Chain A
């Protein structure tokens, strides 16, 4: 574990993992997109509009996964003073913001024909997801405002942990309060409420987007580690005499 968390080791290892993640992500997403758009049967209630599920659900799932990664890493960094954990938290935030934006936008586009509105103020699912977007922005703005990396790490971690209360709220919002948003499709009592021809592309998309997130996160954390370690000997030898350090 300590070797894994050592910055130079992480930096090299991540570079080797990223292409594998990226290629598997591409294959899964390609299958999921084609099967979801053209081979899954149209929904008996929603017609072809339901196909938005194949981009909306993975985006929404990643928006919450990224926050969980950010909050847990921030907590680990805060408690065990592990520098790599703070770098992971800092790397996850912009990705989470992108996918939260995507979940909100595709949800809005889906809501227009289904609910007759782009947006409903006060709807618990929509509002809690929007709050998460602001939490990401807040986290990034806070980090950007503090020059000292260690102080930025600690302040950001506190914000990330406090904001984590929003995660169960998003998840259970459709059960706790009445919402325009439909209930869960996959993780529910009695198993997934969806036929296999609709389900497999969705699972492929969720898994593919998770791998894509993994590749993006590793790439961002590499950049973060490089910056944080800029005064170290390994970064110096890596950048000034790359052939020797290989």
Chain B
């Protein structure tokens, strides 16, 4: 427990690490979603083209 309290600086240390985790996860999700969105959109357009609609 003492190790987790980080002396008197627990709130500063843990909030920094939590924020880092949030940014890492957000950037990963964002990069993945962007690829998926572009892929779906192009596939949709190509299919429309192909069926001549």
Chain A residues within CB distance 8 Å of chain B: 33, 37-38, 42, 47-49, 51-52, 55-56, 59, 94-95, 98-99, 101-102, 105-106, 109-110, 112-113, 212, 216, 219-220, 222-223, 226-227, 230, 235-236, 239-240
Instruction: Give which listed residue, A105, A226, A240, contacts B50 with CB less than 8 A.
Output: A240
Q: Are B43 and A239 in contact (CB under 8 A)?
A: yes
13 contacts between A and B (CB under 8 A): A38-B3, A49-B13, A51-B6, A55-B16, A95-B31, A98-B23, A101-B23, A106-B19, A216-B31, A227-B42, A230-B46, A240-B43, A240-B47
Q: Are B23 and A48 in contact (CB under 8 A)?
A: no
Chain B residues within CB distance 8 Å of chain A: 3, 6-10, 12-13, 15-17, 19-20, 23-24, 26-28, 30-32, 34-35, 38-39, 42-43, 45-47, 50
Q: How far is the CB of B9 from chain A (nearest CB, A)?
A: 4
Q: Are A109 and B12 in contact (CB under 8 A)?
A: yes
User: Closest 4 interchain pairs by CB?
Assistant: A48-B6, A223-B35, A49-B9, A55-B20
Given A47-B7, A223-B31, A226-B35, the answer on whether A99 and B42 have CB atoms closer than 8 Å is: no
Complex-state Cα separation, A164 to B6, whole angstroms: 38
Complex-state Cα separation, A113 to B43, whole angstroms: 52
Q: Are A220 and B50 in contact (CB under 8 A)?
A: no
Complex-state Cα separation, A223 to B35, whole angstroms: 5
Given A47-B9, A55-B16, the answer on whether A239 and B46 have CB atoms closer than 8 Å is: yes
Closest A residue to B43 using CB positions = A239
Q: Are A52 and B38 in contact (CB under 8 A)?
A: no
Given A51-B6, A226-B38, A226-B42, the answer on whether A113 and B19 have CB atoms closer than 8 Å is: no
Complex-state Cα separation, A51 to B35, whole angstroms: 35
Given A49-B9, A52-B13, A102-B19, the answer on whether A227 and B3 have CB atoms closer than 8 Å is: no
Given A48-B13, A112-B12, A219-B35, the answer on whether A230 and B42 have CB atoms closer than 8 Å is: yes
Q: How far is the CB of A45 from chain B (nearest CB, A)?
A: 12
Known contacts A37-B13, A240-B43; can you find 6 more A-B pairs with CB under 8 A? A55-B17, A98-B27, A223-B34, A230-B46, A236-B46, A240-B46
Q: Are A102 and B20 in contact (CB under 8 A)?
A: yes
B-side contacts of A236, CB under 8 Å? 46
B-side contacts of A226, CB under 8 Å? 35, 38-39, 42
Closest B residue to A237 using CB positions = B46
Given A94-B30, A216-B27, the answer on whether A47 and B8 have CB atoms closer than 8 Å is: yes
A-side contacts of B35, CB under 8 Å? 219-220, 222-223, 226
Instruction: Give which listed residue, B16, B43, B45, contacts A106 with CB less than 8 A.
Output: B16
Complex-state Cα separation, A216 to B26, whole angstroms: 11
A-side contacts of B43, CB under 8 Å? 239-240
Q: Are A110 and B16 in contact (CB under 8 A)?
A: yes
